[in-house]
Amino acid sequence: MSHPKYPEKDLQMAFYPSSEISKNVARMLLDSGCVQVRKEEPFRLPSGWASPVYMDCRRLISFPAARRELVKQGLDLLRQRGCLDGIQSIVGAEASGIAFAAWMADELELPLQYVRKQTRGIGHGSQMVGVTPQASRVLLVDDMVAAGTSKVNFLRAITSAGAGVKDLFVIFDYGTFPVEALLAPFGVALHALATWTDVLAVGRDSGHLDAGAVAEIEAFLANPAQWSSVHGGISDMKPVV
């Protein structure tokens, strides 16, 4: 499936569902109040990018019907892509990915682990929590991805623990920053249910987003790197080291 912000040659690392499903997910995100827009002071992401919009997927855990549907749609997408074949456990990313990972693990009757943002514990400590069998294949689950820098940290931790990961699932992908460039060295494919393009289309038609918000998001999506640079953020992704 084509993606509006990445050239065709890069699509091997990013997979999205049908437009109808993506728009339904976008509607759930808007209805749950996950979408935040700033027309004056932009959001500054931990990676250094500036954005006029922010997706707060943490709110979703308080909406049972929405979270059940999102877990179902996520598993359906992963099954269609063959990503669940041979999976031995689900790994949730601290903190917001843990709940969705747990719900997915429960549906699949698989073990669950989670990966911390930082090492903790006695001695050398570990970023991994739970029993991680050596040479096991796992699925990494998080609520969203913006620039992808935190995902690199999680992938390194999983690899260091002796497990392998080929697929990353998120509810929402910004779809604006070069995440695939960061994931490529790990051989990991990104699977998401919706992007800002979907939210813009639904928000504009449904009235969730006013004219000012629509115009700002459109300007951002037209050239995310330039928009970020003009508003005090970075304009290029730092290389993985």
- Model confidence over 31-78: pLDDT tens digits? 999 999 998 899 999 999 999 999 999 999 999 999 999 999 999 999
User: Does the annotation place 146 within a ligand binding site?
Assistant: yes
Q: Helix-strand-coil percent breakdown of the chain, rounded to 5?
A: 45, 25, 35
In angstroms, the CA 12 to CA 190 distance is: 9
CA distance 18 to 159: 32
d(CA 169, CA 149): 15
> Could you tell me the residue ranges of all domains in the chain?
13-230
**CB-based burial of residue 137 (10 Å sphere; 0-12 exposed, 13-18 middle, 19+ buried)?**
middle
23 marked ligand binding residue: no
Write the DSSP symbol of residue 238. Answer: P
Which SS3 state, helix, strand or coil, does residue 50 take? strand
In angstroms, rounded to a whole number, what is the distance separating the alpha carbons of residues 194 and 1? 13
CATH top-level class for 13-230? alpha beta
Is 53 within any annotated ligand binding site?
A: no
Which residues make beta-bridge pairs with 126? 120
Residue 147 annotated as binding site: yes
Rounded to two decimals, what is the model's pTM?
A: 0.90
> How far, in Å, CA of 48 to CA of 214, rounded?
23
Alpha carbon distance 130, 226 (integer Å): 42
Helices (H), the chain: 19-31, 64-80, 97-108, 149-160, 179-183, 196-206, 211-222, 224-230
The answer to whether 201 is a known ligand-binding residue is no
pLDDT score of 228:
95
Cα 5 from Cα 126, distance rounded (Å)? 36
pLDDT attached to residue 13: 53
Q: Return the pLDDT at 10.
A: 40
Residue pair 160/115 in contact by the 8 Å Cβ criterion = no
150 is in an annotated binding site: yes
| Chain centroid to CA 212 | 26
| Blockwise average pLDDT, block size 10, the chain, 241 residues | 35 69 97 94 93 97 97 97 96 97 98 92 74 92 96 95 96 94 94 97 96 96 95 76 39
CA dihedral 16, 19, 23, 26 (to 10 degrees): 20
Q: Is 143 annotated in some ligand binding site?
A: yes
